A and B are shown apart, each in its own frame.
Chain A
Amino acid sequence: DAKTTQPTSMDCAEGRAANLPCNHSTISGNEYVYWYRQIHSQGPQYIIHGLKNNETNEMASLIITEDRKSSTLILPHATLRDTAVYYCIVRVEFGGSQGNLIFGKGTKLSVKP
Chain B
Amino acid sequence: GAVVSQHPSWVICKSGTSVKIECRSLDFQATTMFWYRQFPKQSLMLMATSNEGSKATYEQGVEKDKFLINHASLTLSTLTVTSAHPEDSSFYICSARGNRVGNQPQHFGDGTRLSIL
Chain A residues packing against B (C-beta within 8 Å): 32, 34, 36, 38, 41-46, 49, 51, 87, 93-96, 98-106
17 pairs, A vs B, C-beta closer than 8 Å: A41-B111, A41-B113, A43-B6, A43-B93, A43-B95, A46-B107, A93-B102, A93-B103, A94-B105, A95-B102, A100-B34, A101-B106, A102-B46, A103-B43, A104-B43, A105-B43, A106-B43
Residues of A within 8 A of B75 (CB): none
Q: Chain B at the A interface: mostly helix, strand, loop or mixed?
A: strand
Residues of A within 8 A of B108 (CB): 36, 43-46
Instruction: Count B interface residues, CB 8 Å.
Output: 29
A42 to B6 alpha-carbon distance, docked (Å): 11
A32 B103 Cβ-Cβ under 8 A: yes
Q: A35: nearest residue on chain B (CB-CB)?
A: B105
Minimum C-beta distance from B52 to chain A (A): 12
